[in-house]
Amino acid sequence: MKLNEEKYEIIYRKTEEFKQKLGIPKEIKLVLYSDSDYPLDGNNPRGTTVELTQGILDLLGTENEHVLFFMLAHELIHVKYKDTSFKRATWVIMSECGNDKANALICLMEMRANVLASSLVGLSESEIRDGQAFLQRVNNTSEGKASFVKGYPDRQFIADYCVRFKDFTEVIVDEILMDFKKIMNVNTTDFSEKVKTIFFKKCYPK
């Protein structure tokens, strides 16, 4: 169901603001997601719909409002880089080059969205750390290696990188992959180079 534009005027304005800053020309449809979980889910066939749960919408006007804007920006960055369609293709990659590479690719896509979203919204260090801690509490998501096994960095990892970096460069990619290898006990010599090649070729649409 499409979000009420009058009731959620601020969210629509923020969406347009973020779209302009990100250079997204296409229209973004904001819809209410029926599940009760907090996360936004921008995954859809065309990559032009962002689904918001009532839980995340209820943060509007609260002390955690910045979490809503962070997550909105996060999903719009996925739209910008067409991550939604590529994520489905990672299941093919998993069968071709192994789970660790596919998980590392998803990790890079998520970290790009996290770092750039924090920068786009203009979050302070305390807002970043408090926001990620808040999401950890409400979602009760996995931590440490258990999270990385699913291809997603844990909240502490996200917070640390978002505090340190405001852009997403090859230097950051190298560091994330180095940390990923340590956490996942990956010892393959050319692992990082192979993942980087796929990431920069497939995850930066022309």
Can you give the residue ranges of every domain in the chain?
9-80, 83-202
* Two tokens, residue 71: 């997550």
Asked if residues 123 and 134 have their Cβ atoms less than 8 Å apart, the reply is no
Higher pLDDT, 150 or 92: 150
pLDDT at 203 over 60: yes
Report residue 24 CA to chain centroid gap.
Answer: 16
Q: Given a cut of 70, is residue 92 above it in pLDDT?
A: no
For the domain covering 9-80, report its CATH number: 3.30.2010.10
Q: Which residues pair with 50 in a beta bridge?
A: 30
- Distance (Å, rounded) from C-alpha 158 to C-alpha 71? 13
More confident residue, 171 or 40: 171
Statement: residue 9 has pLDDT above 80: yes
Average pLDDT rounded to a whole number, residues 75-97? 70
Residue 43: the pLDDT is 45
Give the 3-state secondary structure of residue 33: strand
pLDDT at 131 over 50: yes
Q: Are 22 and 77 in contact (CB under 8 A)?
A: yes
Residue 33 has pLDDT above 90, yes or no: no
Q: H or E stretch including 68? A: helix 65-80
Backbone angles phi, psi at 70, to 5 degrees: -60, -45
Structure tokens at 135: 């999401």
Is the pLDDT confidence value at 45 over 80? no
Extended beta strands in 49-205, E state: 49-53
Please check whether residue 184 is in contact with residue 147, taking contact to mean a CB–CB distance below 8 angstroms.
no
How far, in Å, CA of 169 to CA of 59, rounded? Answer: 31
- What 3-state class would DSSP assign to 191? helix
**Confidence band of 44 (pLDDT split at 50, 70, 90):** very low
Residue 86's pLDDT is: 60
pLDDT greater than 90 at residue 122: yes
